[in-house]
Amino acid sequence: MGYGLGVFLLAIGLILAFAVTDSLNGVDLTMVGYILAAAGILVIVLTAATTARGRRSAAVTTHADGSRTVTERRDDVPPAV
């Protein structure tokens, strides 16, 4: 999954919802378009949320005396002044 899949689903969904005037027996293409557009928006939001969560890193340093230091780095927070 990714932004590309989300944009693709959104585009196909909006095309089906607003531009296609054909009909199939038993299939409402407008509703299918709305469902695909909603799925595309959901994929974009979930991709953004998981990408932002993945920008954190932690490092554990063990010193010679046995003590440990944990350093956490987050890219979404500006450094302290």
Question: Would residue 80 count as lying in a domain?
Answer: no
Quick check: is 81 in a domain?
no
Give how many domains the chain has, as a whole number.
1
Cβ proximity of 6 and 41 under 8 Å: yes
Burial 51-81 (b: 16+ CB within 10 A, else e): eeeeeeeeeeeeeeeeeeeeeeeeeeeeeee
| Token digits of residue 75 | 């890219």
What pLDDT digit, counting tens, does each position of 24-38 carry? 899 999 999 999 999
**Residue ranges of the chain with per-residue pLDDT less than 70:** 1, 53-57, 73-81
Residue 35 burial by Cβ neighbours in a 10 Å radius (0-12, 13-18, 19+): middle
* Domain presence at residue 47: yes
Say if 34 falls within a structural domain.
yes
Q: Is residue 40 part of a domain?
A: yes
Q: Using CA atoms, how far apart are residues 55 and 51, in angstroms rounded to an integer?
A: 7
Flag whether 79 is in a domain. Answer: no
Containing structural domain, residue 70: 3-74
